[in-house]
Chains A and B, each alone.
Chain A
Amino acid sequence: EAGVVQSPRYKIIEKKQPVAFWCNPISGHNTLYWYLQNLGQGPELLIRYENEEAVDDSQLPKDRFSAERLKGVDSTLKIQPAELGDSAVYLCASSLAASGDYEQYFGPGTRLTVT
Chain B
Amino acid sequence: AQTVTQSQPEMSVQEAETVTLSCTYDTSESNYYLFWYKQPPSRQMILVIRQEAYKQQNATENRFSVNFQKAAKSFSLKISDSQLGDTAMYFCAFMNLGGGGGSNYKLTFGKGTLLTVNP
Q: Which residues of chain B are near A108, meaning CB under 8 Å?
A: 42-44
A20 at interface by CB-CB < 8 Å: no
CA distance A45 to B45 in the complex (A): 14
Q: In the complex, what's the smallest C-beta–C-beta distance from B108 to chain A, in angstroms?
A: 8
Q: In the complex, what's the smallest C-beta–C-beta distance from B113 to chain A, in angstroms?
A: 10
Q: Are A107 and B33 in contact (CB under 8 A)?
A: no
Taking residues whose C-beta sits less than 8 angstroms from the other chain, chain A's interface range is 20 to 34
Which of B12-20, B61-69, B76-84, B99-107 lines the interface with chain A?
B99-107
Q: Which residues of chain B are near A109, meaning CB under 8 Å?
A: 43-44
Q: Is the interface of A mostly helix, strand, loop or mixed?
A: strand
The CB with the most chain A CB atoms within 10 A, among B37, B44, B93, B110, is that of B44
B47 at interface by CB-CB < 8 Å: yes
Which of A21-29, A63-71, A74-82, A98-106 lines the interface with chain B?
A98-106
Number of cross-chain contacts by CB at 8 Å: 58
Given that A89-B43, A91-B45 are contacting pairs, would A56 and B109 also be in contact in the complex, using a CB cutoff of 8 Å? no
Q: Are B102 and A56 in contact (CB under 8 A)?
A: yes
A95 (CB) vs chain B CBs: closest residue:
B105
Q: Are A43 and B109 in contact (CB under 8 A)?
A: yes
B105 (CB) vs chain A CBs: closest residue:
A97
B91 at interface by CB-CB < 8 Å: yes
Binding site for A on B (CB under 8 A): 4, 33, 37, 42-47, 50, 91, 93, 95, 97, 102-103, 105-112
Closest 5 CB pairs of A and B: A42-B109, A106-B45, A56-B102, A97-B105, A45-B106
